[in-house]
């Protein structure tokens, strides 16, 4: 069941979409790095946060490439070196996106509240799924397999609720960067290209999780029905 080639066929659309999205990100990232912005990524994020009244949200430099994120527990934006230091459309676009998450947090944006509550399901759901699959197979227990399926459903739920969170943060970033004059017309186009490409990676991840869930549901529930017959 776990190594069925059919699973690769079922999830192939999501894998292909992810590869295309990653190619688009690399291309858009590189192009956006060639277009100037009025501020560095860190300065743009600071400006957006201050305009939103979030003076207590910090901004730190972090290691890695495309490692940018907002930490709601520490209330801090962590930006990679290029995003933190460069005055480019790519830098301010990514920084503004993360600032958008901080604004969501500060305003109690409901999908973000739900997503944050679902983080444990996303972290532990796949592990619990594999454990239940192994135990269910060893013990010939359809009930354990179904419990495992429900655990994997937690990851799918997280991915689904994550989509509006990410797209809303990107929409905020596009709007505010233009409204505050941080990018010009060419910069706005480059920002849209970077953030839209990033958005498709979330779509691809969600699609892969959903297709995987449907595949195992078909296998487990179908097998359970056959056993009952």
| Residues annotated as part of the active site | 98
Q: 16-24: list long-range contacts, CB under 8 Å, 24+ apart.
A: 17/200, 17/203, 17/204, 17/207, 18/201, 18/204, 18/205, 18/208, 20/200, 21/197, 21/198, 21/200, 21/201, 21/203, 21/204, 22/201, 24/193, 24/197, 24/200
Indicate the pairing of strand 69-71 with strand 76-80.
antiparallel
pLDDT at 228: 54
pLDDT in tens, 173-209: 999 999 999 999 999 999 999 999 999 999 999 999 9
The rounded percent of the chain whose pLDDT value lies above 90 is 88
Note the helical H segments in the chain. 5-32, 41-51, 81-85, 89-107, 110-117, 119-138, 142-179, 185-228
Region 67-72 average pLDDT: 96
Cβ neighbors of 1 (< 8 A, separation 6 or more) are: 133, 137, 216, 219
Region 48-63 average pLDDT: 97
Mapped onto helix, strand or coil, the DSSP state of residue 88 is strand
pLDDT band at 94 (very low <50, low <70, confident <90, very high): very high
pLDDT at 150: 95
The rounded percent of the chain whose pLDDT value lies above 70 is 96
Domain boundaries, the chain: 5-228
8 Å CB contact between 145 and 179: no
Distance CA 44, CA 87 (A): 9
pLDDT at 182: 97
């Amino acid at each position: 069941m776990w190594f069925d080639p059919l699973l690769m066929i079922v999830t192939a659309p999501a894998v292909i979409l992810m590869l295309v999205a990653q190619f688009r990100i690399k291309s858009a990232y590189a192009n956006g790095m060639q277009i100037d912005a009025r501020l560095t990524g860190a300065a743009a994020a600071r400006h957006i946060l201050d305009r939103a009244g979030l003076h207590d949200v910090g901004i730190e430099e972090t290691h890695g490439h495309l490692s940018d994120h907002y930490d709601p527990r520490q209330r801090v934006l962590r930006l990679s070196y290029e995003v933190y230091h460069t005055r480019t459309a790519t830098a301010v676009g990514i920084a503004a996106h993360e600032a958008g998450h901080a604004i969501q947090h500060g305003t109690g944006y409901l999908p973000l509240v739900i997503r944050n509550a679902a983080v444990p399901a996303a972290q532990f759901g796949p592990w619990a799924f594999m454990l239940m699959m192994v135990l269910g197979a060893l013990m010939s227990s359809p009930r354990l397999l179904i419990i495992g399926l429900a655990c994997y459903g937690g990851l799918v739920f997280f991915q689904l609720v994550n989509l509006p969170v990410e797209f809303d943060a990107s929409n905020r970033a596009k709007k505010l960067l233009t409204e505050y004059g941080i990018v010009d017309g060419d910069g706005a186009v480059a920002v849209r290209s970077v953030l839209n490409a990033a958005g498709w990676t979330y779509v691809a991840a969600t699609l892969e999780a959903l297709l995987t869930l449907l595949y195992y549901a078909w296998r487990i529930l179908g097998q359970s029905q056959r056993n009952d017959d």
